[in-house]
Amino acid sequence: MTTKPAYYLTTAISYPNGAPHIGHAYEAIATDALARFRRLDGYDVFFLTGVDEHGLKMKQTAQKEGLTPRELGDRNTPQFQEMCRVLQVSNDDFIRTTEPRHHAAVTEIWKRMEAQGDIYLDTYAGWYSVRDEAFYAESETEVGEDGVRRGPSGTPVEWTEEQTYFFRLSKYGPALLKHYAENPDFILPPERRNEVVSFVEGGLQDLSISRTTLDWGIPVPDAPGHVIYVWVDALTNYLTGAGYPDTESESYKRYWPADLHVIGKDILRFHAIYWPAFLMSAGVPLPKRVFAHGFLFNRGEKMSKSVGNVVDPFALVSVYGVDELRYFLLREVPFGQDGSYSHEAIVARINADLANDLGNLAQRSLSMIAKNCGGALPEPGDFTEEDRALLDLADGVLATVRNALDTQAIHKAAEAIWNVVGEANRYFASQEPWALKKSDPVRMGTVLYVTAETVRQVGILAQALTPDAAGKLLDQLAVPTDSRDFAHLGEAGRLHAGTELPKPEPVFPRFVEQDEKQAAQ
């Protein structure tokens, strides 16, 4: 049994009605960075992602493609799994809502809500968006110039009238408002919390939670002809992942309630209103936080010629590289806000921050060690004020990173780490170790040692953002694999003088345009 504190975090589960797109990739990468930071910081992390296979949207897409919904899920799910692999997403489990374990969890939560007296049969008549799998009040819809009625997210709605089961959502308004007030960080970022609070303050309607016009879903217990509404089904995946309904299982006791649900801003209502209300009804403790990230848009500018489809994460990885794409998205887009990407912006980040600032610093200092110090880490002499200032900065950055990550500000964590890289470059340039080779080789050794030690700390921290390249950087510094967590930051893991280093290899190549490459050949 581990003594590490548990940390359970999740992404939304994607609809596998098509191939994964950049929005799915972004969410997976960001959640992965958060998972890796926690693991490196000594937590016992459980990271869940997966796919949402039921519902009308899956059924309709399958019909269009001449498949059953199960066949559609079976065909597309491996692409989501492959996306996680390609993006270096370190999920511990991958859930499909068609799995028997999930069937059991959804059935149980339904029965508990029913036993609480929160489920009743009535007739539903109202607007439904298949794309959002959401019911909207008439006041939330609008008829556009094209005569099509649309919901608040801009997706078409259709009139639906059928006998369904309802959940007494209206009853939970006061309890939800109390929960938001007592747990001000339950919903982040704060502007999103305010939206939710105003919506709930406006009064909640009971929610239709079953369908009879659809046969693709989990059956309502003891009610032939009814299947459970896809959002009751989908949200429950977070419980299934922890081992529910076996509330005595080790995993449930260890990981529930979840620490963090990372989702996009379009599905906040489901996560911040419906989900906690279902859980309150079922007597299950609430997750600690729901973080809504923004949307990613292509700026509409030219992408590299080889990125045929700019929303295809596989194409983006093959053109820019996985660490490069991850770094760009995590550093460039303030987490929680909308962001845009373009070829120019990605290349600028790769070449400035990765190739120039970190890559060159590592390459230049390590090549000097290889050439002038017999390939072994030099023995440092007495530290000057400048040496100490840089080491102190590197030693202190973990506090800033932790602080940023307390509110999932991944971009601030990345900025703090790269601030150390910037200072290390200024230090290296001002100390001119190359000029000390003849005049003061001991001082040269000290400067190279301090630079290498700073790169070590950056490498350890950067593992959460750019896992492959950071790992290679640490290999170049001969940092043992069991000494790469945050417990080895600062004094605790200082490089040892005399350690033999492998031949330095560039870790972050510059991005060279296809036409420049051809011209150079």
Regarding 387 and contact with ligand ME8 (CB under 6 A), the answer is no
Regarding 263 and contact with ligand ME8 (CB under 6 A), the answer is yes
Q: Which is nearer to ligand ME8, 252 or 295 (CB)?
A: 295
Q: Which is nearer to ligand ME8, 199 or 297 (CB)?
A: 297
Q: Is 121 helix (H, G, I), strand (E, B) or coil?
A: strand
Residue pair 126/172 in contact by the 8 Å Cβ criterion: no
Q: Which is nearer to ligand ME8, 52 or 108 (CB)?
A: 52
DSSP string, 411-477: HHHHHHHHHHHHHHHHHHHHH-HHHHHHH-HHHHHHHHHHHHHHHHHHHHHHTTTSHHHHHHHHHHT
Regarding 296 and contact with ligand ME8 (CB under 6 A), the answer is yes
Quote the CA–CA distance of 316 and 350 in Å, as a whole number. 13
Q: Which is nearer to ligand ME8, 69 or 264 (CB)?
A: 264
Strands 149-150 and 142-143: antiparallel
Regarding 76 and contact with ligand ME8 (CB under 6 A), the answer is no
> Count residues contacting ligand ME8 (CB under 6 A)?
18
Regarding 267 and contact with ligand ME8 (CB under 6 A), the answer is yes
Regarding 179 and contact with ligand ME8 (CB under 6 A), the answer is no
Least Å distance, CB 329 to ligand ME8, is 10
Least Å distance, CB 263 to ligand ME8, is 4
Strands 6-10 and 44-51: parallel
Least Å distance, CB 21 to ligand ME8, is 7
Residue 516 exposed, middle or buried by CB count within 10 Å (0-12, 13-18, 19+):
exposed
Residues 5-44 that bind ligand ME8 (CB under 6 A): 12-15, 23-24, 26-27
For 17, residues 6+ apart whose C-beta sits below 8 A from its C-beta are: 57, 58, 61, 62, 72, 76
Q: Which is nearer to ligand ME8, 233 or 357 (CB)?
A: 233
Least Å distance, CB 408 to ligand ME8, is 14
Q: Which is nearer to ligand ME8, 13 or 354 (CB)?
A: 13
* Cβ count within 10 A of residue 413: 27
Q: Which residue has the tokens 């308004």?
A: 173
> What are the phi and psi torsion angles at 11 (to 5°)?
-95, 175
- Candidate residues 38, 41, 47, 52; the one interacting with ligand ME8 per rule CB under 6 A: 52
Q: Which is nearer to ligand ME8, 261 or 456 (CB)?
A: 261
The residue nearest ligand ME8 at its CB is 264
Interhelix angle 361-372/441-462, nearest 10 degrees: 140
Q: Which is nearer to ligand ME8, 264 or 459 (CB)?
A: 264
Q: Which is nearer to ligand ME8, 24 or 331 (CB)?
A: 24
Residues 213-252 that bind ligand ME8 (CB under 6 A): 234-235, 237
Q: Which is nearer to ligand ME8, 93 or 440 (CB)?
A: 93
Residue pair 92/47 in contact by the 8 Å Cβ criterion: yes
Q: Which is nearer to ligand ME8, 106 or 296 (CB)?
A: 296
Least Å distance, CB 28 to ligand ME8, is 9
Residue pair 218/323 in contact by the 8 Å Cβ criterion: no
Quote the CA–CA distance of 155 and 135 in Å, as a whole number. 12
Residue pair 258/10 in contact by the 8 Å Cβ criterion: yes
Least Å distance, CB 327 to ligand ME8, is 17
Least Å distance, CB 197 to ligand ME8, is 20
> Nearest to residue 287, comparing CAs of 329, 330, 241?
241
Q: Is 95 helix (H, G, I), strand (E, B) or coil?
A: strand
Regarding 445 and contact with ligand ME8 (CB under 6 A), the answer is no
Least Å distance, CB 235 to ligand ME8, is 5
Gap between the terminal Cα atoms of the chain: 58
Q: Find the part of the chain contacting ligand ME8 (CB under 6 A) among 77-85, 152-160, 201-209, 262-270.
A: 262-270
- Candidate residues 140, 266, 423, 440; the one interacting with ligand ME8 per rule CB under 6 A: 266
Residue pair 507/343 in contact by the 8 Å Cβ criterion: no
Least Å distance, CB 430 to ligand ME8, is 42
Site of interaction with ligand ME8 (CB under 6 A): 12-15, 23-24, 26-27, 52, 234-235, 237, 263-264, 266-267, 295-296
